[in-house]
Amino acid sequence: MNSANILNHLETSMYGRSVDYYESVESTQPLAHDAAQAGVPDGTLIVAEEQTAGRGRLYRPWSSAARKGIWMSLIIRPTLTPQQAPQMTLVTAVAIIRAIEEVTGIEATIKWPNDILINGKKMTGILTELQADPDRVKAIIIGIGMNVNQDEEDFPDELQSIATSLKIATGQHINRAKLIAGILRYLEQYTNMYEKHGFGPIKLLWEGYSNTAGKRIRAVMLNETIEGVALGISEEGLLELQLDDGSVRGIYSADIQIQ
């Protein structure tokens, strides 16, 4: 894979039109933050074949084996308020699901807030970070880590029972450049839709792919754990949970266990 491969498949007007490609980096995420601060154009993509210190949500380590996955950070500058920015994780999840479906025929599911699963195992994680003034988004950095061509033995032992790849799911080697181009096309389309029409249309798509709606779940948060039935997501992107006393709680961020 290289920048030219990606550009060959690209059908967007902005996203991915400028690509910074690296063989090996610690993490694409801080590089993207620096690039955003330096003023790179909307849709600039930082992509690496390998990350030696990839990170996930809550600074957890993210395994990013060389040439097996998609390890990338996209810098976008949509016209959104800082309050609307976290929903970009959900916009991105829908875009990724659609691209996977188009390229592989597989229908993956979304586990709120940022996991994409196949057969109950994690295949993709999304890390959305923000650069903003109090009333204006300057840039959103969307980090996407996608397990594509790993075989089971390519995952560290502790991940083998909980992680999967598109190759494991389909039995086929997948063209990563084509998949990146598909993700960027849907993401550009859905981000435009979100800017113009708000979160409603995305929410409908998202709920169709969610694996939690109607299920009893446990939500583990930083200082509290609660259980209830997942109802769906709110207009603000919060997970709505009906507790046993009938009350409804909106959750910003948590680790979700399906009961």
Q: Which is nearer to ligand BTN, 76 or 228 (CB)?
A: 76
Minimum CB distance to ligand BTN, residue 76 (Å): 14
Which residues have a Cβ under 8 Å from the Cβ of 34 and sit 6 or more positions away? Answer: none
Residues pairing with 25 in the sheet:
51
Q: Which residue is nearest to ligand BTN (CB)?
A: 125
Minimum CB distance to ligand BTN, residue 200 (Å): 26
Q: Is 125 in the site for ligand BTN (CB under 6 A)?
A: yes
The single residue among 19, 27, 121, 186 that binds ligand BTN, judged by CB under 6 A, is 27
Residue with tokens 């309050």: 83
Scanning residues 126 to 145, which ones bind ligand BTN (CB under 6 A)?
A: 126-127, 143-145
Q: Which is nearer to ligand BTN, 53 or 248 (CB)?
A: 53
Q: What is the DSSP string of 16-81?
A: TSSEEEEEEES-HHHHHHHHHHTTPPTTEEEEEEEESS-B-GGG-B----TTTEEEEEEEE--S--
On the CB side of 218, how many CA atoms lie within 13 Å of its CA? Answer: 5
Choices 49-57, 156-164, 182-190, 240-248 (CB under 6 A): range interacting with ligand BTN: 49-57
Could you give the CA distance from residue 78 to residue 56 in angstroms, rounded to a whole number? Answer: 23
Distance of CA 8 to the CA centre of its chain: 23
Q: What is the DSSP letter of 190?
A: H
Choices 25-33, 159-167, 197-205, 245-253 (CB under 6 A): range interacting with ligand BTN: 25-33
Could you give the CA distance from residue 238 to residue 249 in angstroms, rounded to a whole number? Answer: 9
Residues in the chain: 259
Minimum CB distance to ligand BTN, residue 256 (Å): 12
Choices 71-79, 103-111, 185-193, 233-241 (CB under 6 A): range interacting with ligand BTN: 71-79
Could you give the CA distance from residue 125 to residue 147 in angstroms, rounded to a whole number? Answer: 9
Q: Is 199 in the site for ligand BTN (CB under 6 A)?
A: no
| Contact track, ligand BTN, 150-189, x by CB under 6 A | ----------------------------------------
Q: Is 113 in the site for ligand BTN (CB under 6 A)?
A: no
User: Closest by alpha carbon to 23, among 3, 40, 39?
Assistant: 3
Q: Is 92 in the site for ligand BTN (CB under 6 A)?
A: no
Please give the biggest Cα pair distance in the chain. Answer: 57
Minimum CB distance to ligand BTN, residue 64 (Å): 6
Q: Structure tokens of 21? A: 């490609």
Could you give the CA distance from residue 4 to residue 181 in angstroms, rounded to a whole number? Answer: 12
Tell me which residues touch ligand BTN (CB under 6 A). 27-29, 51, 54-57, 60, 62, 64, 71-73, 114-115, 125-127, 143-145
